[in-house]
């Protein structure tokens, strides 16, 4: 039996491309026919053992793969996985001092004065420079520790771009889910996600995202982005902890992030919710024996979930109101409609058989 794992795909920054091309030419990265089940297209490369055996996270934006320096946003993985990379890299991994209080400051709403103080704190941390870290200080430790499977690391070349895929052992595995509820999960930007389990409504807590002034030094901007991402991740992980034990089936929206106009996609990526929705939540659910269903989100925010008939309502800010007098949280209404759509599909499937 193969080991159950989670995987995370990180986009490699362009600065690393020449090194990777050279490594392919020199045979340090070898093309393989492995089907990673991660991307539909692209050429998979397996690093030679000397590289695989010498991997360390130098800091959150740089991974050493033997002699290769891979630049990318390596904190864009769930907390459990992030912790395991850092733990495996202790003695090498560097982090700016005082990041944990800067992170927790984002977990409560901020006033403009708080934002200014926070940004001053980020600048001060960057001014001190990255220092050898004693442990993972941007995580809540809500998950069971896991192992970073260094030997499984692969690179993918796709249409001129490069991606690195990191693998982790999945310890909290179950074959039968703990819960039985059909849980609908609505994805948004504020709140980031709302779950409906029967009449129970669960949503992520609000996360502050201070504005970084244009012209701010790139390092300050980068740390501010990493912290905002980590704060959003904490809120999403907390929701996952509450949802997973209840769910037997998880109903999620089908979202094509590439097709969205405006800045929804950019914001969803910056606030971790795109990663959560596309990768973390389905992987965690599968590992716990939960069935993941994807349904179309069309009209789920316009139809009343409480009316038996197909009634269209109106949305004003966070509130949904239907002509029959039902008033409820707009995101909860959408999440309930996902569940209803799932039952509708089940009923149609039963009639067909």
Minimum Å gap between C-beta 245 and Zn ion is 30
Q: What secondary structure does DSSP assign to 32-76, as a single string?
A: E----SS-SSSEEEEE-HHHHTSEEEEETTEEEETTEEEEB-TT-
Distance CA(144)–CA(241), nearest Å, equals: 12
Classified as helix, coil or strand, 187 is strand
Residue 37 CB, nearest approach to Zn ion (Å): 42
Residues 206/52, Cβ–Cβ less than 8 Å: no
Least distance (Å) between residue 306 CB and Zn ion: 4
Candidate residues 217, 324, 343, 346; the one interacting with Zn ion per rule CB under 5 A: 324
CA separation for the pair 74, 284 (Å, rounded): 19
190 binds Zn ion (CB under 5 A): no
Cα separation, 322 vs 306, in Å, equals 9
Q: Which of residues 269 and 326 has its CB atom nearest to Zn ion in the complex?
A: 326
> Looking at 173-181, 184-192, 281-289, 319-327, which segment touches Zn ion (CB under 5 A)?
319-327
The answer to whether 232 touches 275, Cβ cutoff 8 Å, is no
By C-beta, is 190 or 306 nearer to Zn ion? 306
Among 77, 235, 244, 322, binds Zn ion (CB under 5 A): 322
Are β-strands 154-158 and 43-47 bridged in parallel, bridged antiparallel, or unpaired? antiparallel
**269-308 residues near Zn ion, rule: CB under 5 A:** 304, 306-307
Q: How far is the CB of 194 from Zn ion (least distance, A)?
A: 18
CA 283/CA 293 separation, integer angstroms: 13
* Shortest CB 310 distance to Zn ion, Å: 10
By beta-carbon proximity to Zn ion, the closer residue of 265 and 321 is 321
Of the two residues 309 and 352, which places its CB atom closer to Zn ion in the complex? 309
326 binds Zn ion (CB under 5 A): yes
315 binds Zn ion (CB under 5 A): no
Percent composition of the chain: helix, strand, coil (DSSP 3-state, to 5): 35, 25, 40
- Pick the closer one to Zn ion by CB: 291 or 306: 306
- Which residue, 287 or 304, has its beta carbon nearer to Zn ion? 304
Residues written for the chain: 353
**Positions that interact with Zn ion (CB under 5 A):** 304, 306-307, 311, 322, 324, 326
């Amino acid at each position: 039996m193969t080991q159950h794992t989670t995987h995370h795909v990180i986009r490699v920054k362009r600065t690393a491309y020449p090194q990777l091309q050279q490594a392919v030419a020199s045979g340090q990265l070898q093309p393989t026919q492995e089907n990673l089940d991660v991307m539909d297209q692209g050429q998979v490369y397996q690093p030679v053992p000397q590289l695989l055996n010498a991997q360390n996270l130098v800091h959150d934006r740089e991974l050493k793969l033997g002699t290769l320096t891979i630049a990318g946003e390596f904190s864009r993985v769930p907390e459990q996985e992030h912790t395991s990379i850092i733990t495996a890299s202790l003695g090498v991994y560097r982090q700016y001092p005082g990041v944990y209080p800067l992170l927790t400051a984002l977990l409560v709403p901020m006033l403009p004065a708080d934002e200014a103080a926070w940004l001053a704190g980020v600048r001060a941390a960057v001014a001190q420079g990255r220092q050898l870290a004693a442990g993972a200080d941007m995580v809540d430790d809500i998950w069971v520790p896991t192992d970073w499977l260094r030997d499984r690391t692969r690179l993918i070349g796709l249409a001129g771009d490069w991606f690195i895929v990191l693998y982790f052992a999945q310890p909290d595995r179950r074959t039968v889910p703990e819960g039985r509820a059909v849980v609908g999960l609505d994805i948004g930007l504020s709140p980031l996600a709302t779950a409906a389990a029967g009449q129970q409504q669960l949503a992520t807590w609000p996360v502050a995202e201070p504005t970084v002034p244009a012209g701010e030094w790139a390092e300050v901007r980068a740390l501010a982005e990493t912290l905002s991402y980590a704060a959003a991740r904490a809120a999403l992980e907390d929701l996952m902890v509450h949802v997973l034990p209840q769910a037997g089936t998880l109903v999620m929206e089908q979202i094509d992030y590439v097709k969205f106009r405006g800045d929804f996609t950019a914001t969803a990526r910056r606030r971790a919710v795109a990663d959560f929705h596309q990768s973390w939540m389905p992987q965690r659910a599968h590992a716990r024996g939960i069935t993941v269903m994807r349904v179309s989100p069309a009209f789920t925010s316009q139809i009343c979930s409480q009316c038996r008939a197909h009634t269209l309502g109106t949305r004003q800010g966070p509130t949904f109101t239907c002509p029959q007098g039902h008033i409820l949280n707009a995101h909860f209404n959408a999440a309930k409609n996902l569940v209803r759509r799932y039952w509708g599909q089940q009923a149609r499937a039963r009639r067909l058989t």
